[in-house]
Structure 1
Amino acid sequence: MLKQNTLKESFSLSGKTLHTGLNLTVTFLPAPAGHGYKLQRTDLPGQPIIDAIAENVVDSRRGTVLGKGDVWCSTVEHALAAFYALGVDNVLVQVDGPELPILDGSAEPFVREIQRVGIIEQDAPKDYYYITKKMEFRDEENGACITLLPDDEFSLTCMIAFDGKVLSSQFATLDSMDKFATEVAAARTFVFVREIEQLLLAGLIKGGDL
């Protein structure tokens, strides 16, 4: 039986945020079994906590935004991907602002720090969802689609299509989370030049650079 895991010790990372352009610090702390991923806004009165669950995703344009009531935190996807891929089930994320630092634009800085501090096993079994039939979720607004199929082995295939000459259709397959650190974590956030003005007008990428 696979057990839950958490960090052996805490670590912090600081830097500019992608969309709000603020210089912030995020700290990741060990958490008890069954805790899951939780984000805490230490800059707000009462230091409110947001559970990192699908029901709390309030926006996914140009990043994942988690929110509860009038409290939110954005650009959490790189950190959460790193923790999930490396098998860390329970962690408290404390950030002193509305967004996690973008760092180098990838999940690699988070992976590197998780590997540095280490992971410790906890006395509780991991929780799983078992897929017993085909499931499909589609966003009619942007055409995004995710399909889940039953299988005896893990395999993730991603496909994307851009309307442009530089990048068109691409796909990649990950058949083991063990390969995440070496084959996926360094993939970086990017933007097309033609999109920059529109994003700036929308109040985004204030901390982006070329």
Structure 2
Amino acid sequence: MHQADGLVNQNTLKSAVTLHGVGLHTGAEVTMTMKPANPGYGIRFQRIDLPEKPVVKADVDFVVDTSRGTTIEHNGARVSTVEHTMAALVGMGIDNALIELDGPEVPILDGSALQFIEAIESAGIQAQDARRVVYSIDTNIHYYDPVKNVDMLAVPATDYQITTLIDFNSPVLGTQHAALGHISEFRSEIGPCRTFWFL
């Protein structure tokens, strides 16, 4: 893997945008505000309900739990169920944003990334005077976890493409398949997909 020349500028939001909702796992009411951030800042979540308002960077190194959602933590500050927000930000090309939360969990909204996407669209997207950092692979990378039965394969490609297959070993859910041929399809093809739950 190597860093390729970024041909696209980084993006942030043109203005702040606020969403209100309830956490899926905590049931806590939460207000979330996505704000513009400087080039190179990345995506960070700030717990404004905690003393000193700690910030947690959205980075794989800070992932502490993926059992029923994605939870990140740094210096004792946790933020849960970040995956729909992160998907919307990546799908809409946002590189830099500060996300303020007055609770421990991102609101679930309608169970998809769509309302986060619509919030980003209402705030607007601002190109920044800095190139996006892009990584490229020259050879296949394979990962397998026999305990969780997870198998991943990354192959060199000129575009951002994802194909996924999941088998829940359930007669209700069965096996599901999805493909994203280009990141420009995210809003229509992936964004509206909703989390399932049993009543």
TM range (shorter): over 0.9
Alignment of structure 1 residues 36-185 onto 2, 5 Å: 36-185=42-191
Shift of 1:144: 1.9
Scaled by the length of structure 2, what TM-score is found? 0.93
Which residue of 21, 24, 30 maps to 2:30? 24
State the superposition RMSD in angstroms: 1.2
Specify every segment of 5 or more residues in structure 1 that has no aligned partner in the other structure, as ranges.
Answer: 194-209
Shift of 1:136: 2.2
Shift of 1:70: 1.6
Which residue of 3, 9, 12 maps to 1:6? 12
CA distance in 2, matches of 1:179, 1:128: 19
Specify every segment of 5 or more residues in structure 2 that has no aligned partner in the other structure, as ranges.
Answer: 1-6
CA distance in 1, matches of 2:160, 2:72: 27
1:99 match: secondary structure: coil
CA distance in 2, matches of 1:82, 1:31: 16
2:73 match: secondary structure: strand
The alignment-based identity, stated in percent, is: 40
CA distance in 1, matches of 2:65, 2:110: 22
Scaled by the length of structure 1, what TM-score is found? 0.88
Normalized per residue, the structure richer in strand is 2
1:163 match: secondary structure: coil
Letter in 2 for 1:58: V
CA contact (8 A) 2:161 2:183 kept: no
CA distance in 2, matches of 1:32, 1:187: 30
Shift of 1:177: 1.1
